[in-house]
C-alpha cells in the first residue's frame, strides 16, 4: 500500500476490531476517526472494511495440521469386479428412495436384494469398495438385519471409518464376526486375548478356536471356568455346541453341578445330545421305566406310566421340576425324560421296530400327543433324520393326522435335520397337497436357491391361486419369498405367466391384471438376480487365486 489512508481517509492500520465495533454500533454512535481526529462516515468505514477483507482473504496461509488418523489396516481381499461395484452402488442408492406406496408394480424391489447380494459377495471373499463404505454403514445403521453381512463385508476399513463417525458406533459394539477374527494359530496370542480380552472378543476367540481345534477350546475354557461369571459361563458353554463330541462329556458332567441353574440346564441339554453319554443313559433308564410295550391282546401298543416324582438326581440331570402354568407335573417330567433319551434305545425296547413303525404304534391312555412331541424334540436335538422322517410322515397327509406334530414350527425344525434336497422335496409335496397358505414357515428352512421340484411346486401353486381368482396380495409373503429364493433359471419358464389371463367366473375384479403384474415383477427380479450372480462371478475368482492362492 503506497499510502497510509484509504481514499476516504481511514488510516489503513486501523485495527479490524475497531471497524467491526463501529459497524455494529453504527458510525453515528461510534464513528471512526481520521488521523486528524475528524469523525468519518459510513462510506469511509465500508472502504476500509473492503480493503481489510480483501487483504485478509488474499493473505490466508495454511494452518499447522492436527495429527492425521492412524491409517486403516490393510484389507487383502480382492476388489469387486467393476460391474458388481456399480450394482452395489445402485442397490444402495435405491435404498434411500422411499417406496412408492400402495401397489408394488412390476419393478424388482432392490432393497430386498441387498442381503442376498451381500451374502453372495461375502461368500466370494470380496473387499468392499472404499467409496461405498459410508452408504453401507448407513444401510446397516437403519436395518439391524443387514449388520452382520455389512460388517463382515466392510472389513477393517469399515470399522476404522465407523470409529470416526458417532452415527456408526453400532459397528464397534457389534460382535463383528469375520471382521476382527483373532489369530488362533498363535497359542501365546490366544492365551493373552483369553485373559485380557473384552467379553465379546473372548466369545469370538472361543468360537474361532472351537472350529479349529475343539479340544484346545475346551481346555482354554476349563482353565478359567470357575472364575468366570455365571452369565459368561452360559455363553462360553454354548460355544461347545459346535463340534460337540464324547471328549466334551467329562467337562459337561462337571458343569451339571454348577451354581447356576441355566448353566446346569445347558450342560444337560448338550449331554443328552451325545447319545453315548452317561447322562443320556441315565435318562434312558428313567424313560424306559415310564414307556413300555404293552403286549396284552394280540397287537403291541405303547403303555405309558408318567413319573410320580422329580427327585434330586433327575434335577441334577437337568430335569426342570416345576411345569409352566397349565401343564401337569407328571407329563412335564415325562416329556423331559423322553426328550433327553437317545432315540436308539426305543428300537431295542420295542423288538427292533424302526422309527417309522414306532410312531404308528397305538399309545394307551391318551399319552400319544405328549410322547410324540417329546420324540420330535429328541429328533431335533439329536439331529436324527430317520426319526424326523418318521415323525413328519408323508407330506400329503393333512397336518392334523400326521404321526408327529401338527405344529408348523416343530415341523420346520424336523425338516431342518433332513438333507436339503429331501427337505425341498418334502415341502414341494406339502405344497402340492395343501397349497401355499400354511407353507410359509416350512419354506423358510429350505436352502436357497430352491431346488427344481420345490420351485415348480411354488410356481404351480401360485398359478392355481391365480386361476382361483383371488388377489395376489393374499400371497404376498410367499411371492416375496419366491423373488428371493427361486432359482433364477426359472425365469424363462415363468415368463408365460406374465400375460393377463381371461377373468374366470366369480373372480375378484381386476385380479388377473394384478397377477400379471406380480409375475412380471417375479420374473424381472429373477433376471436381475441372475445378472447380479454373473457380475459377482466375473473375473474376481481368477484374480483372487493369482493373488494369494486361496479361494
Partner 1 sequence: MVLSHGGETGRPTGPVERRTAGRVPAPGFDEVSGTADQEPESAPDEASRAVDRPSGDSASRAAAARRAGRRAERVTGGAQELEQRLADLLRGGLAATDRPEYGLWEETAARMVDAQAPGLAHRLRELGSVSASGPGWPVRLLEECALLHLLDSAWLRLDRLPGPLAATVRTRVGLTASAEGPAVRDRWTVLAQYDTPDGRITTRRIWLYGEESGRTALLLSYGAPGRAPARTLPVGTVIDAEVTPYPGGGGLRAELGRQFGDPVVTAAPQHGGTTADALGAYGRALRDDPWLDAWPAILRDVIPAPSGDGWQLIGAADGSALPIAPPALSRPGLWKLVALSGGSPLTVFGECGHRGFDPLAAWCPEASDDIGAGTAVALV
Unique residue bearing C-alpha cell 385380479: 511
To the nearest whole angstrom, how small is the minimum distance from the Cβ of residue 67 to partner 1?
A: 7
Work out how close the CB of 108 gets to partner 1 at its nearest, in angstroms, rounded to a whole number.
25
Q: Which is nearer to partner 1, 83 or 235 (CB)?
A: 83
Judged by beta carbon, residue 60 or residue 123, the one nearer partner 1 is 60
Question: Which residue in 164, 196, 197 sits closest to 181, CA to CA?
Answer: 197
CB of 17 to partner 1, least distance (A): 9
Long-range contacts of 131-136 (CB under 8 A, 24+ apart): 132/85, 132/88, 132/89, 132/92, 133/157, 133/158, 133/161, 134/161, 135/89, 135/92, 135/93, 135/95, 136/92
Provide, rounded to whole angstroms, the least separation between the CB of residue 51 and partner 1.
8
Angstrom distance (rounded) from CA 337 to CA 200: 35
| Footprint of partner 1 (CB under 8 A) | 19-20, 23-29, 41-43, 45-47, 49-50, 52-54, 56-72, 79-82, 85, 129-131, 133-135, 157, 160-161, 164-165
Chain-centre distance for alpha carbon 97: 24
Phi/psi at 120 (nearest 5 deg)? -65, -45
H helix or E strand, kind and range, residue 293: strand 291-294
The residue among 24 and 322 lying less far from partner 1, judged by its C-beta, is 24
- Nearest CA among 356, 391, 379, 350 for reference residue 275: 379
Q: Which CB, 96 or 499, lies closer to partner 1? A: 96
In the complex, minimum distance from the CB of residue 219 to partner 1, in angstroms, rounded to a whole number? 39
Q: Kindly list the distances between the CA atom of residue 462 and the CA atoms of 106, 437, 481, 503, in Å, as whole numbers in the listed order.
A: 17, 11, 12, 16
CA 199 to chain centre: 21
Determine the Cα angle at 166 with ends 163 and 170, to 5°: 75
309 is written with which cell numbers?
Answer: 416324582
Residue 333: is it exposed, middle or buried by C-beta count within 10 angstroms (0-12/13-18/19+)? buried
Contacting residues for 190 by C-beta, under 8 A, at least 6 apart: 182, 183, 184, 205, 209, 220
What is d(CA 155, CA 142) in angstroms, rounded to the nearest whole number?
Answer: 19
Answer whether 347's CB lies under 8 Å from 354's CB: yes
Whichever of 10 and 485 has its CB closer to partner 1, that residue is: 10
| C-beta closer to partner 1: residue 4 or 64 | 64
Integer Rg of the chain from CA: 35
**Closest CB 528 distance from partner 1, rounded Å:** 22
User: Beta partners for 293?
Assistant: 302
Here the cell at position 511 is 385380479
State in angstroms the smallest separation of the CB of 400 from partner 1: 55
SS3 assignment, position 79: strand
Cell, residue 295:
403286549
- Given the complex with partner 1, which of 133 and 414 has the nearer CB atom? 133
Closer Cβ to partner 1, 50 or 421, answer by number: 50
CA distances from 338 to 71, 134, 313, 384 (A): 58, 53, 16, 14
* Closer residue to partner 1, CB minimum distance, 58 or 299: 58
Q: In the complex with partner 1, which residue's Cβ is closer, 161 or 390?
A: 161
Contacting residues for 464 by C-beta, under 8 A, at least 6 apart:
435
Q: What's the grid cell of residue 58?
A: 488474499
CB of 310: closest distance to partner 1 in angstroms? Answer: 59
- 63 or 198, CB closer to partner 1? 63
Nearest-approach distance from CB 77 to partner 1, in angstroms: 11
Q: Which is nearer to partner 1, 135 or 216 (CB)?
A: 135
Q: Whole-number minimum distance, CB 183 to partner 1, in Å? A: 22
DSSP per residue, 7-31: TTS-BTTS-HHHHHHHHHH-TTTS-
Closest distance between partner 1 and the C-beta of residue 25, in Å? 5
Q: How far is the CB of 7 from partner 1 (least distance, A)?
A: 10
Amino acid at each position: 500500500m503506497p499510502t497510509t489512508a484509504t481514499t476516504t481517509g481511514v488510516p489503513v492500520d486501523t485495527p479490524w476490531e475497531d471497524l467491526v465495533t463501529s459497524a455494529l454500533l453504527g458510525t453515528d454512535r461510534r464513528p471512526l476517526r481520521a488521523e486528524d481526529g475528524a469523525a468519518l462516515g459510513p462510506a469511509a468505514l465500508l472502504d476500509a472494511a473492503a480493503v481489510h477483507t480483501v487483504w485478509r482473504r488474499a493473505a490466508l496461509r495454511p494452518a499447522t495440521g492436527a495429527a492425521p488418523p492412524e491409517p486403516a489396516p490393510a484389507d487383502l481381499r480382492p476388489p469387486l469386479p467393476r460391474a458388481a461395484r456399480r450394482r452395489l452402488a445402485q442397490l444402495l442408492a435405491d435404498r434411500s428412495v422411499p417406496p412408492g406406496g400402495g401397489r408394488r408394480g412390476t419393478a424388482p424391489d432392490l432393497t430386498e436384494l441387498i442381503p442376498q447380494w451381500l451374502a453372495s459377495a461375502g461368500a466370494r471373499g470380496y473387499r468392499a469398495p472404499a467409496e461405498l463404505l459410508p452408504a453401507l454403514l448407513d444401510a446397516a445403521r437403519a436395518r439391524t438385519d443387514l449388520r452382520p453381512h455389512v460388517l463382515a463385508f466392510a472389513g477393517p476399513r469399515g470399522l476404522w471409518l465407523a470409529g470416526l463417525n458417532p452415527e456408526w458406533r453400532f459397528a464397534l459394539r457389534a460382535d463383528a464376526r469375520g471382521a476382527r477374527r483373532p489369530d488362533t494359530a498363535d497359542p501365546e496370542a490366544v492365551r493373552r486375548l483369553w485373559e485380557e480380552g473384552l467379553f465379546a472378543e473372548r466369545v469370538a476367540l472361543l468360537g474361532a478356536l472351537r472350529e479349529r481345534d475343539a479340544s484346545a477350546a475346551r481346555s482354554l475354557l476349563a482353565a478359567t471356568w470357575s472364575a468366570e461369571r455365571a452369565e459368561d459361563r452360559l455363553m462360553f458353554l454354548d460355544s461347545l455346541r459346535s463340534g460337540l463330541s464324547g471328549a466334551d462329556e467329562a467337562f459337561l458332567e462337571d458343569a451339571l453341578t454348577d451354581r447356576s441353574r441355566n448353566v446346569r440346564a445347558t450342560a444337560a441339554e448338550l449331554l443328552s445330545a451325545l447319545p453315548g453319554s452317561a447322562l443320556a443313559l441315565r435318562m434312558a433308564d428313567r424313560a424306559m421305566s415310564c414307556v413300555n410295550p404293552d403286549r396284552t391282546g394280540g397287537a403291541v401298543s405303547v403303555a405309558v406310566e408318567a413319573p410320580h416324582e422329580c427327585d434330586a438326581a433327575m434335577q441334577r440331570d437337568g430335569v426342570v421340576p416345576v411345569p409352566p402354568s397349565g401343564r401337569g407335573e407328571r407329563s412335564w417330567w415325562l416329556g423331559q425324560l423322553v426328550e433327553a433319551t437317545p432315540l436308539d434305545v426305543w428300537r431295542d425296547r420295542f423288538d427292533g421296530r424302526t422309527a417309522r413303525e414306532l410312531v404308528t404304534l397305538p399309545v394307551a391312555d391318551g399319552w400319544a400327543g405328549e410322547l410324540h412331541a417329546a420324540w420330535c424334540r429328541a429328533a431335533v436335538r439329536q439331529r436324527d433324520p430317520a426319526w424326523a422322517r418318521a415323525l413328519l410322515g408323508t407330506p400329503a397327509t393333512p397336518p392334523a393326522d400326521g404321526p408327529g406334530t401338527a405344529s408348523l414350527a416343530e415341523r420346520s425344525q424336523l425338516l431342518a435335520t433332513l438333507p436339503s434336497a429331501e427337505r425341498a422335496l418334502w415341502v414341494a409335496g406339502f405344497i402340492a397337497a395343501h397349497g401355499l397358505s400354511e407353507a410359509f414357515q416350512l419354506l423358510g428352512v429350505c436352502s436357497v436357491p430352491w431346488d427344481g421340484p420345490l420351485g415348480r411346486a411354488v410356481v404351480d401353486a401360485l398359478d392355481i391361486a391365480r386361476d382361483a381368482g383371488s388377489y395376489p396380495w393374499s400371497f404376498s409373503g410367499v411371492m416375496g419369498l419366491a423373488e428371493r429364493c427361486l432359482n433364477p433359471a426359472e425365469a424363462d419358464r415363468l415368463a408365460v405367466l406374465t400375460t393377463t389371463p381371461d377373468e374366470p367366473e366369480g373372480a375378484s375384479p381386476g385380479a388377473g391384471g394384478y397377477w400379471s403384474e406380480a409375475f412380471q415383477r417375479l420374473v424381472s427380479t429373477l433376471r436381475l438376480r441372475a445378472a447380479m450372480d454373473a457380475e459377482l462371478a466375473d473375473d474376481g475368482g481368477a484374480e483372487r487365486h493369482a493373488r494369494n492362492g486361496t479361494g
